[in-house]
Structure 1
Amino acid sequence: MGGMTSTPTSPQPPRRLVLATRNPGKVTELHAILSEAGLPFELVGADAYPEIPDVKETGVTFAENALLKAHALAQATGLPAVADDSGLCVDVLNGAPGIFSARWAGTHGDDKANLDLLLAQLGDIADEHRAAHFFCAAALALPDGTERVVEGRLLGTLRHTPSGDGGFGYDPVLQPLGESRTCAELTPAEKNAISHRGQAFRALIPVVRELLG
């Protein structure tokens, strides 16, 4: 029986990282980026914690909103949490719609109404003054209050009419610099390679490594 004195240690389960979104597309996108980087985390969305209410985005910048969401989820779960906030910033509108991108026409998430209003506002604006960019702030928050924020931008110009069936939001009118197509005409892989969110999530990799090992 001498061989029974030591109990073999079971393998440690992967550490969990929570993404403050109920959008499965975002979870999939960040999971792919973390996997490419070889980070050993189990990634779950906020849907894994249905008892935790969504956080009101009361910040006045993308970074503030991302941090609000990340800290709330980290505190509620006791796990490191990642959140992002993103939107469209139009030069001639002094950066608007900005943090109000998802509710520019008054109702949160009404993509068509938001797009129609924006195009109407820019109806008389010539091509050379239609510069805009998608912006994303991504935040990592730990239960102890540690926080970091990184950014991503996709520069482009705004078309006069929507084009393409892919993507969502303002994708049908933003034509990335150097492209002849709108974001809504790119394949998902093409869009993820250059997108503001993809850039921000990739910029999180060294932060995750530094803070979580």
Structure 2
Amino acid sequence: DALDGAPGLHSARYAPHPNATDADRRAHLLQNLVPHPRPWTARFRCVVALVEPEGTARFFEGVCEGEIIPEERGDNGFGYDPIFVVEGLGRTMAELTMEEKNRLSHRARAVLAARRALEALASQGAEA
């Protein structure tokens, strides 16, 4: 929120140099956040597109709200996971088990919504 949506869609390119590592990108993000007051609220967002047989496109969004913290915590993640505390949990994405992450992540939420739509389409097709 403090960076007006950055790093955004191209988070892998939000870097101080072309060959940046995940650690470099996290450091770059934190450096840009320092001038802004805390808390540094943020979110992970994923959108899954589903195109129905007749061509109608439907979009399913998954969002995981949280806060960026200045110190890294956890070993079970990548990218920004070690500095992203999931809202209501007090743990970073990198501190979650794979099962927890698969249930709570923005990607999981978007895919689950798309799956439900696919199941509804399949049941409509079976009834026809």
1:110 and 2:21 are equivalent in the alignment: yes
Match of 1:140 in 2: 50
One-letter amino acid matched to 1:116: A
* Residue pairs, 1:8-23, within 5 angstroms: none
One-letter amino acid matched to 1:157: E
Cα offsets for 1:16-47 (capped at 9, x unmatched) = xxxxxxxxxxxxxxxxxxxxxxxxxxxxxxxx
Match of 2:73 in 1: 163
Residues 148 and 207 of structure 1 are in contact (CA less than 8 Å); yes or no, is this contact kept in structure 2? no
1:203 and 1:99 map into 2 onto residues whose CA distance is 20
Q: Structure 1, unaligned stretches of length 5 or more?
A: 1-90
Q: So what's the TM-score if we normalise by structure 1?
A: 0.52
In the TM superposition, residue 181 of structure 1 has moved relative to its aligned partner by 1.4
In the TM superposition, residue 142 of structure 1 has moved relative to its aligned partner by 5.1
SS in 2 for 1:127: coil
SS in 1 for 2:2: helix
* Residue pairs, 1:1-213, within 5 angstroms: 91-105=1-15, 106-107=17-18, 110-128=21-39, 130-141=40-51, 145-213=55-123
1:109 and 1:206 map into 2 onto residues whose CA distance is 38
Residues 135 and 154 of structure 1 are in contact (CA less than 8 Å); yes or no, is this contact kept in structure 2? yes
Distance 1:205 1:94, change over 3 A: same
One-letter amino acid matched to 2:57: E
In the TM superposition, residue 113 of structure 1 has moved relative to its aligned partner by 2.0
Cα offsets for 1:88-121 (capped at 9, x unmatched) = xxx0111111112111115488322211110111
In the TM superposition, residue 183 of structure 1 has moved relative to its aligned partner by 0.6
Q: Structure 2, unaligned stretches of length 5 or more?
A: 124-128
Count of aligned residue pairs for this structure pair: 122
Residues 133 and 156 of structure 1 are in contact (CA less than 8 Å); yes or no, is this contact kept in structure 2? yes
2:119 and 2:92 map into 1 onto residues whose CA distance is 34
